[in-house]
Structure 1
Amino acid sequence: MIDNCIEIRVRYADTDQMKVAYYSQYLIWFECGRTELLREIGYPYSRLEAEGIILPVIEAWCQYHKPARYDEVLTVRTTLPN
């Protein structure tokens, strides 16, 4: 299994009026994790595109357990099974 963790600080622009991260922002953070995992294994998007490889996301969902709030640091963990 390949495992990658990145830290992301919740920006003011990521939040709603209650200073809680807007629900769709989580998917953007997930994409940041996916991008960094690919870069770590030597396949940044630029290389994949140059080789004619595309990786479309065909399904995405999440279950929210706790709100992310303005200025908190989050850890995004991305894993790729063997």
Structure 2
Amino acid sequence: MRTIELYEHRAKYYETDQMGIIHHSNYIRWMEEARLDFMEKIGCPYKKMEQEGIICPVLSVHCQYRSMVYFDDIVKIAVKIKKYNGIKLKLVYEMFNETTGQTCTVGESEHCFLDSNNRCISLKKVSPAIDSVFCAYMEE
């Protein structure tokens, strides 16, 4: 399996809640940032997919919070393809504090592929090049 450089996010002050910790809703945003970064790094930029008429909506998202993140902490996010069949894609995320190495959050997101008319498509048929990239980076 190929190694991808981890996505890095520095926790912003505006992302904190009244208790001074990162509000739980921000982790979903960070997953999206990391997903787009991951797709860029593996050679499937989301913008290019959209230009080809392929959209990739979120079907579900899940987070499990394990430890708190505070303002100015640097969070590293690993993204991996857990499942892929040409029609659906499931990604897993692990977020950890760069300083302590402690896992902060783990999550998953599931996506499908649609054409510009919002009809489900198979990347194996519509875009074999993108399909082969996702297959190459899938967890074994």
Asked if these proteins are the same fold (TM beyond 0.5), I'd say yes
In structure 2, do the counterparts of structure 1 residues 43 and 80 end up closer, same or farther at CA, with 3 Å as the change threshold?
Answer: same
**Correspondences of 1:19-30 after superposition (within 5 Å):** 19-30=20-31
Report if aligned partners of 1:10, 1:72 keep a CA contact under 8 Å in 2. yes
Separation in 2 of the partners of 1:22 and 1:75? 17
Deviations 1:5-31 (A, max 9, x none): 111110001111221000000000000
Runs of 4+ in 1 over 6 A off after TM superposition: none
In the TM superposition, what is the alpha-carbon distance from 1:3 to its structure 2 partner?
4.9
Q: What is the match of residue 13 of structure 1?
A: 14
SS in 2 for 1:38: helix
TM-score (norm 2): 0.55
TM-score (norm 1): 0.91
In the TM superposition, what is the alpha-carbon distance from 1:46 to its structure 2 partner?
1.3
* Identical counterparts, % of pairs: 34
Q: Return the structure number with greater strand share.
A: 2
Amino acid aligned to 1:20: I
Report if aligned partners of 1:3, 1:37 keep a CA contact under 8 Å in 2. no
| Residue segments in structure 2 that go unaligned for 5+ positions in a row | 83-137
Deviations 1:39-76 (A, max 9, x none): 01112121010111111110101111101111100011
| Residue segments in structure 1 that go unaligned for 5+ positions in a row | none
Structure exhibiting the larger radius of gyration computed from Cα positions: 2
Separation in 2 of the partners of 1:60 and 1:3? 24
In structure 2, do the counterparts of structure 1 residues 15 and 45 end up closer, same or farther at CA, with 3 Å as the change threshold?
Answer: same
Please provide the CA RMSD for this pair: 1.4
Which structure has more RCO (C-alpha within 8 Å, separation ≥ 6)? Answer: 1
- Is residue 65 of structure 1 aligned with residue 66 of structure 2? yes
Would you say how many aligned residue pairs link Structure 1 and Structure 2? 82
Separation in 2 of the partners of 1:41 and 1:24? 27
